[in-house]
Structure 1
C-alpha cells in the first residue's frame, strides 16, 4: 500500500515542463488573453442565463446570484493567476497539480477539466447552429430536420452546421495561434459592442415596478427546486457559475504567453472583471424591462425583450453579432482543450503521439478534440451532460486553491518567485476552496452522479494505461534499473576481491 501511495504521488520536475513546452511559440499578449477570456466567458450565456435564472429561481435578485458566483470565481481566479505566473505550462490545473501533489491528483484535475472542454465545445457549436438557423429561417433558408438536429432528436440525424463550425475553428487554429488570436480580438470587440448596445437601448425601457419585490418570497417550484429568498439566489449561483469558468481557458495557454509573470494575472483577472460588469448590467436591464416571469421558457430573452419594447432591428443585429461572437467561445475552448490533451500526451498519460507538435502547434491533440466534440455536438443528444461541466471544473478549482499552500513552500526553491501572488495568504486560498465547495454542493444530485461516472472512467484509464506508460513511470523504472545495475557491479567487485 505504501509503495502504491508513493507511486501515485510522484511529482513532475517543473524544469521538465519548461523544457517540453519550450517549443510552443510565446506570442500571446495581455490584449490577446483579455480577448480570449472575455470571448469564452461572455458567450451565449449572457443572452440567456439572466432571463432563465430570474424566471426559475431568483427574480430580480438574479443580480445577487451573478455577484455571489463572481466572488467565488474571483477567489479561484486569484489562485489561477499565481499558479499561471509561477508555472506557465500548457495544461493549466493538470500540470500544476502534477507538480504540486503528484501524477494521480494531476490526472484527476485534468480529467475533470477535459469534461468541461469536450462538452462545452459541443454545446457552443450546437447553440451557434440553433441561432444561425433561427436567423436564416425568416429568409426562407432552412435545412431539413435530418440535418438540423442531433441524432434521435425531432427526426434529426446530424447537426450539420455544428459539425461545420467546430471543424472550421479547428482548421483556423491548426494554421497558427497568432492568426486565431487576430480573429478572436475582432469578434470579441463586436460582441462587447452588441452587449453594450443592449444595455443602452434596454435601459430606455426599464420600469422600476418590475424590481419590486427585489427578492421574491421563497417557495418551491413544481420540480422541487427553490424560487425566491436566499434559497433561490443560491440555486441561481450554481447555474450561473458555469458562465464564469472560461478563465481556465486562459491559463491553459500560458505556455504561449509573452512575459507570463505579468501577462497571465492581468489576462485572467481582467477578463473576469469585464465579464462580471457586463453580466450584472445585462441582468439588471433585462429584469427591469419586463417582469421576470415573462422570461420563463424563453430561449432568447434578450432578443424577445428588445422586440417587445419596439426595437426589432436592434434585436436582429444583436442576435447576428451574438452568432458571430460564439466563434470566440469556440476558439477559446478549442485552444484550451487541445493544450490539455497535448499535455496528457506530452506526459505519456494518453498515447504519446498526442504530445507531438507540428509547426509548433499540437495538431494531433487538436484533431482528437475536434472529432470527439463533433460526435457529441452533432450526433448525440447531450442535454443531461451539461451538469458535468460545472461539477468537473469545480473539482479542479478546489485542487488549484489548495495547491497555493504547496506552491508557496516551493517558490524560490525549485520554482521561481512569481510576479503576482494571491493576496491575504494563508486565508484566501482556504476561502476560495470553501467557495468552490459551496457552489459544488448546490448542484443537483444528477450533476454529482454524472461526475462520479466520469471519474470512474478516468480512474480506469489511469490505472490501465496512464500509470503504466507515463514518463514518470519510465523515469522511475530507469532509476530502478540503474540502481540495480550499480548494486550488481558492487556485488561483482566484492566477489572478485574475495577471490
Structure 2
C-alpha cells in the first residue's frame, strides 16, 4: 500500500517538460497575452450576466458581486503568475501540479480544467451561433429549424453555425499561434471599444433612483436561491465567477511566450485588471439605466437597454461586436484547451498521438480532438445543464494552484529557477486564495457540484485503467 501511494505522488522532473516543450515556438508577447486574456475573460458574460445576476440575486449591488469575484480571481491570479514565471510549461495547472505534488494530483487538476475547455468551447460556439442568428434574422436570413439549434432543442438536429465557427477557429489556430494572435489583437480592440461606447452612451440614460436601495432587503427566490442582502451578493459571486476564469488560458500557453519570466505575470495580471474595470463599469451603467427587475429573464440586457433608451443603431453595433467578442473567446479557449490536451499526450496520460507536433511544431492532433468534442457538445447535444461545470472544474484547479505555492517556494532557486514575480504577502495570501476559491465553489448550485463529481469519477476510472500504466514517468522508473 505504501508503494501505491508513493507511485501516486511521483513527481515529474521539470527538466523533462522544459525539454519536451522546447520545440514549441516562443512567439507570444505581453501584448498578445493581454489580448488573449481580455478576449477570453471579457466574452459572452459581459453582455448577459450583469443584468441576469442583478435581477435574480444582487439588485444594483451586482457590481459588488463582480468586485468580490474579481478579488478572489485576483488572489488566484497572483499564484498563477508565480507558477507560470517559475514553470513556463504547456498545460498550466496540470503540468505545475505534476511537478510539485505528483502525477495523480496533476491528473486531478488537469482533468478538472479539461472539463472547462471542452464545455466552454461548446458553450461559446452555441452562444455565438444564437447571437449571429439574431442579427441575421431581421435581414431576412434564417436557417431551417433543423440546422439552427442543438439536437432536441426547438426542433433542432444540429447547430450549423456552431459547427462552422469551431471549424473556422481550428483552421486559424492550425496555421500558427502568431497568426491567431494577430487576429485576436485586432478583434479585442474592437470589442473593448464597443463596451466603452455602451458605457458612455448609457451614462446619459442613468437615473439615480434606480440605484436605491443599492443592496435590496434579503428574500428567498422561488427556486430557493438568495436575493438581496449579503446572501444575494454571495449568490451573485458564484454565478459571475465564470466570467473570470479566462486567465488560465494565458497560463496554458506559457511555453510559447517570449521571456516568460516577465511576460506571464504581466499578461495574467494585466488582462484581469482590464476585465475587472470593464465588468464593474458595465454593471453600474446597466442597473442605472433601468430598474434591475427589468432585466429578469432577459438574454440580451445590454442591447435591450440601449434600444429602450432610444439608441437602436448603437445597440445593433454593440451586439454585432458581441458576436466578434465571442469569436475572440473561442480562439482563447481552443488555443489553451489544445495545449492542455497536448500536455496529457506528451506525458502518456492519454494516447501519445495527442502529444505529437506537426512539421511546424504545432499540436494540431490535440487541436483536432478538441474541435471534434466541441462540435459534438455544442452542435448536437443540449449543453445548458453542464454550463456551471465550467466554473466547478476551474475552481478545483484554482485551489490546487493556490495551495501549491507552499510546495513551490522551497524549490525555487534549487531545481526550479527563481521567478521574477512572487506572490505577495506570503505565507498568508496563498491561504486566502484557497479559501476564496473554495467559498465560490461551495456557492455553486447542487447540480454543478454533482456533475463535477461525475466528471471526477470518470477521470479516476480513466487514470487507473490507462494513465497510470502508460505514463512516461512510470516507464522511466522501470528503465
Deviations 1:291-340 (A, max 9, x none): 00000000100000000000000000011111112111000000000000
What's the offset of the Cα at 1:476? 1.2
Indicate yes or no: 2:131 matched with 1:126.
no
Q: Distance in 1 between matches of 2:177 and 2:472?
A: 27
Q: Distance in 1 between matches of 2:154 and 2:211?
A: 38
Counterparts of residues 96-115 of structure 1 (less than 5 Å)? 96-115=96-115
Deviations 1:370-419 (A, max 9, x none): 00000000000111101211111100000000110110010011000000
What's the offset of the Cα at 1:199? 0.1
> Structure 1 stretches of 5 or more lacking a match?
479-499
Which residue in 1 is equivalent to 2:233?
A: 233
SS of the residue aligned with 1:130? helix
What's the offset of the Cα at 1:273? 0.3
Deviations 1:207-260 (A, max 9, x none): 000000000000001111100000000000000000000000000000000000
How many corresponding residue pairs? Answer: 478
SS of the residue aligned with 1:294? helix
Q: Distance in 2 between matches of 1:189 and 1:71?
A: 25
What's the offset of the Cα at 1:445? 1.1
Question: Which consecutive segments of 4 or more residues in structure 1 shift more than 4 A?
Answer: none
What's the offset of the Cα at 1:195? 0.2
Indicate yes or no: 2:289 matched with 1:265.
no
Which residue in 2 is equivalent to 1:454?
A: 455
Which residue in 1 is equivalent to 2:442?
A: 441
Deviations 1:168-189 (A, max 9, x none): 0000000000100000000000
Which residue in 1 is equivalent to 2:344?
A: 344
Which residue in 1 is equivalent to 2:244?
A: 244
Q: Distance in 1 between matches of 2:324 and 2:447?
A: 33
SS of the residue aligned with 2:417? coil
Which residue in 2 is equivalent to 1:33?
A: 33
Larger Rg over CA atoms:
1
Which residue in 2 is equivalent to 1:13?
A: 13
Which residue in 2 is equivalent to 1:413?
A: 414
Which residue in 2 is equivalent to 1:329?
A: 329
Which residue in 1 is equivalent to 2:82?
A: 82
Q: Distance in 2 between matches of 1:325 and 1:187?
A: 7
What's the offset of the Cα at 1:345? 0.1
Q: Distance in 2 between matches of 1:391 and 1:180?
A: 28
Deviations 1:62-98 (A, max 9, x none): 0110000000000000000000000000000000000
SS of the residue aligned with 1:255? helix
Counterparts of residues 196-345 of structure 1 (less than 5 Å)? 196-345=196-345
Deviations 1:350-384 (A, max 9, x none): 00010000111000000000000000000001111
Q: Distance in 2 between matches of 1:149 and 1:20?
A: 41
Q: Distance in 2 between matches of 1:423 and 1:360?
A: 36
Indicate yes or no: 2:367 matched with 1:366.
yes
Which residue in 2 is equivalent to 1:489?
A: none
SS of the residue aligned with 1:152? coil
Q: Distance in 2 between matches of 1:43 and 1:212?
A: 29
SS of the residue aligned with 1:23? coil
Which residue in 2 is equivalent to 1:490?
A: none
Q: Distance in 2 between matches of 1:434 and 1:249?
A: 22
Which residue in 1 is equivalent to 2:465?
A: 464
Deviations 1:252-279 (A, max 9, x none): 0000000000000000000000000000
Normalization by structure 2: what TM-score? 1.00
Q: Distance in 2 between matches of 1:347 and 1:29?
A: 27
Q: Distance in 2 between matches of 1:134 and 1:125?
A: 14
Counterparts of residues 57-206 of structure 1 (less than 5 Å)? 57-206=57-206
Q: Distance in 2 between matches of 1:230 and 1:95?
A: 37
Q: Distance in 2 between matches of 1:384 and 1:169?
A: 25
Counterparts of residues 459-498 of structure 1 (less than 5 Å)? 459-478=460-479
Which residue in 2 is equivalent to 1:4?
A: 4
SS of the residue aligned with 2:22? helix
Which residue in 2 is equivalent to 1:393?
A: 394
Normalization by structure 1: what TM-score? 0.96
Q: Distance in 1 between matches of 2:460 and 2:388?
A: 20
Deviations 1:11-52 (A, max 9, x none): 000000000000000000000000000000000100000000
Q: Distance in 2 between matches of 1:223 and 1:347?
A: 45
SS of the residue aligned with 2:387? helix
SS of the residue aligned with 1:297? coil
RMSD: 0.4
Deviations 1:470-490 (A, max 9, x none): 001101111xxxxxxxxxxxx
Q: Distance in 1 between matches of 2:142 and 2:328?
A: 25
Which residue in 2 is equivalent to 1:485?
A: none
